[in-house]
Amino acid sequence: MLEVLDCRVPASLQDAGRPGYRHLGVPLSGALDIEWLAIANALAGNPPHTVALEAQVIGPRLRANAPVTIALAGEFSARIEDAGGQSREVGNWRSHVLAAGEVLDTGSLRSRIGYLAIHGGFDLPVVLGSRSTYVRAGFGGIDGRALIAGDRLNVLPIGKAGERTSLPLRLPRPPGPWSGALRVVSGPQREYFTDAAWARFVGEAFIVGRAVDRMGLRLEGPRLDHALGADIVSDGVAPGAVQVPGDGHPIVLLADCQTVGGYPKIATVIGADLPCLGHFMPGQTLRFVEVSIEQAIAARRQANAALAECLASIVPGEGGFNLDALYTANLIDGVIDAHR
Amino acid sequence: MKPRILALGEGALTLEFGDRIDPAVNARVMAARNAISSLRLDGISDVVPTYRSLTVHFDPLLLDRTTLVEQLVEIAQAPTQRSSEAESSGTAATTRWLLPVIFGGEFGPDLSQVAQATNRSEAEIIETLCSLELRVFLIGFLPGFPYLGELPEWLRLPRLASPRAAVPANSVAIAGAQAAVYPWQSPGGWHLLGRTPVRLFDIGDAARPALLAPGDTVRFAPIGRDEFGRMSIAVDTGKIVRKDWLS
């Protein structure tokens, strides 16, 4: 079991989200970077879409009240402090065993967001098919809110498949910082904008505004002028859609975005580039480039293949051992305690 | 307006039937929704109807996009027959709800201003609102949040100049041609007229978490403070269940 000692910047629990309920106004939610979620889980010996902790900017401090195996995907600056006050640095893109009483300080995040997965997965109620936190309606995760000091995160019973996994694991070639232009397909309301606005949209750089949350990325910089007005009768939206309100400053929608919206959408970020949207920091610049639908579908296929290759490259970490042996030996009491 | 198919990225398509709020357009949307749902295509995750359009979210690696476009074109091109079918069958199957509401005072802090702005008495506002059979056009904005319409011309007011930071859950509100009930506490710019004891969204009911669905109709019925209190307790303790709100 992990106890939250301190969480200064809102962190939440996310899995792959809750598709299938958007007609009821329930947003998709889920991890901003679904690929890093999968990596964190693979490193923890879990199925890819197991619920994990999504940290941002400064990650939480957590105490293991029983031995647990955790994995970090993201550029954390994490340390483990043992009960005697000794502290050691811990690497990213690998799993670690925390002994009972040890404290993990995940530290600041150079990648803005990062994932902490736990071997077995967090034991949280499933709400409408998902354990993802959705703060606006207050459901999912722990009571539908960000983590706070004192929260206790229990671990689900570990399945047979998990028990055979050799832990810890590490990713030999971690993903580098994302660079390049965000690929978009035009529309659905391209005709609501002037040609000059489109030229600026794909030709100029935007700056990420200060308000960054899980609903959207507000952009500053070039103004995009509407040709047919800034209001439409609401229609469907999706993460990645670039909506432009009356002030001409675009908003790129993210995982917690509403299901419908009343602003025209000039373009939509393709699925393959959605995971990197969560990493943009306020003040960072960002560019868009147009691709065709066919290119977008090909890019999605390519991204899936690249992720599969990445997960397949995971190897046992230094000091690796068989978990069966581990759990049947000295840690068994702690594991049973953690599962209770 | 001729139906159009718009790309919302490579993983979603929007079938657009019109650009305004119109019950006839909405009926075509709902007919198309039924037609797509009946295809039971693998790879479709969500089918989201709005006032005037239908957005289909799908995985383009599981479901061939070109095939889906062809099917949507076919559905869009057979609108008259399909919508009349839906309407005739819909009339029989329409779910009608009667939602009790306590109006004014702390529960409806904007009732007096709405009366002033429209030059009517508070009683007239309540009477008018409760005489209407409102159609659920769309569920959106928040889980279970229903957009209901349409209000008579004289009752249509612009949204509040400065939205409230926190509208209490279960508030009954109006803006423009629409009425709504807030299932959750949230920021909001609509005029608050009253509050209902009815729970509009139940996360415990995965099969039907939202009480209302597009195509349903809603009537409001005025209740007093005592009744509101009694009903609220009965909802919390499970003594009143959903079907008790059916008209």
Q: What is the CATH number of the domain that holds B28?
A: 3.30.1360.40
- Could you tell me the pLDDT band of residue A283, with boundaries at 50, 70 and 90? very high
Where chain B has pLDDT below 70, the residues are 79-92
Please check whether residue A139 touches B, CB under 8 A.
yes
Six token digits for residue A221: 């910089």
Q: How confident is the model at residue A201 (pLDDT cuts 50, 70, 90)?
A: very high
* pLDDT tens digits along A20-52: 999 999 999 999 999 999 999 999 999 999 999
Residue A331 clears pLDDT 50, i.e. is over it: no
Among residues of chain A, what percentage have pLDDT more than 90?
82
Same domain, residue pair B137 and B209? yes
Q: Which residues of B are less than 8 Å from A232 in CB distance? A: 19
Q: Which of residues 15-54 of A touch B (CB under 8 A)?
A: 19-26
pLDDT: which is higher, B204 or A256: A256
How many independent structural domains does chain B possess? 2
Claim to verify: residue B74 and residue B105 sit in the same structural domain: no
Which B residues, 144 through 183, put their C-beta within 8 Å of a C-beta on chain A?
Answer: 144-145, 183
Q: Are residues B103 and B177 in the same domain?
A: yes
Pick from B88, B104, B128: which residue ends a domain?
B88
Domain boundary among B59, B88, B117: B88
Q: Does A340 have pLDDT greater than 50? A: no
pLDDT of residue A329 exceeding 60: no
pTM listed for this prediction: 0.90
Q: In terms of residue numbers, what domain contains B237? A: 96-245
Q: Are residues B205 and B151 in the same domain?
A: yes
- For residue A178, what pLDDT band results from cuts at 50, 70 and 90? confident
Question: Based on the domain organization, do B141 and B55 belong to the same domain?
Answer: no
Note the pLDDT of residue A328.
46
Judgement on whether residues B125 and B189 belong to the same structural domain of the protein: yes
Nearest Cβ partner of A137 from B7, B12, B184? Answer: B184
**Co-location of B100 and B217 in the same domain:** yes
Q: Does residue A232 sit at the B interface (CB-CB below 8 Å)?
A: yes
Q: Give the model's confidence band at A337: pLDDT under 50 very low, under 70 low, under 90 confident, else very high.
A: very low
Residue B229 maps to which CATH number? 2.40.100.10
**Pick the residue with more confidence: B27 or A151?**
A151
What pLDDT is attached to residue B161? Answer: 80
B211 and B103, same domain (yes or no): yes
Per-residue model confidence as pLDDT tens digits over A290-327: 999 999 999 999 999 999 999 999 999 875 444 444 44
Among A233, A300, A307, the residue to mutate for chain B (most B Cβ within 10 A)? A233
Better pLDDT: A265 or A85: A265
SS3 letters across chain B: CCCEEEECCCCEEEEECCCCCCHHHHHHHHHHHHHHHHHCCCCEEEEEECCCEEEEEECCCCCCHHHHHHHHHHHHHCHHHHHHHHHHHHHHHCCEEEEEEEECCCCCCCHHHHHHHHCCCHHHHHHHHHHCCEEEEEECCCCCCEEEECCCHHHCCCCCCCCEEEECCCEEEEECCEEEECCCCEEECCEEEEECCCCCECCCCCCCCECCCCCCEEEEEECCHHHHHHHHHHHHCCCCCHHHHEC
ipTM of the complex in this document: 0.90
Query: Which CA distances in Å does A308 have to A94, A96, A311?
Result: 17, 22, 5
Tell me whether A127 touches chain B (CB under 8 Å). yes
Whether A260 and chain B come into contact, CB under 8 Å, resolves to yes
Residue of chain A whose Cα is closest to the Cα of B6: A188
Question: Percentage of chain A with pLDDT > 70?
Answer: 91
Q: Are residues B185 and B75 in the same domain?
A: no
Cβ-in-10-Å burial (0-12, 13-18, 19+) of A216 comes to buried
Hey, what's the torsion of the CAs at B33, A258, A288, A200, to 10 degrees? 100
Mean per-residue pLDDT over chain A, rounded: 90
Q: Taking 50 as the threshold, does the pLDDT of residue A334 lie above it? A: no
From chain B, the residues in CB contact with A19 under 8 A are: 45-46, 57
Q: Do B209 and A25 touch (CB under 8 A)?
A: no
Size of interface A-B (CB pairs under 8 A): 133
Last residue of a domain, one of B88, B119, B134: B88
Split at pLDDT 50, 70, 90, the class of A164 is: very low
Q: What is d(CA B160, CA B166) in angstroms, rounded to the nearest whole number? A: 13
A235/B210 CB distance under 8 A: no
Model pLDDT, residue B80: 55
**Same structural domain, B13 and B129:** no
- With cut-offs at 50, 70 and 90, classify the pLDDT of residue A335: very low
Q: Do B50 and B153 share a domain, yes or no?
A: no
Would the CB atoms of A188 and B65 count as touching at under 8 Å? no
Pair B78, B112 in one domain:
no
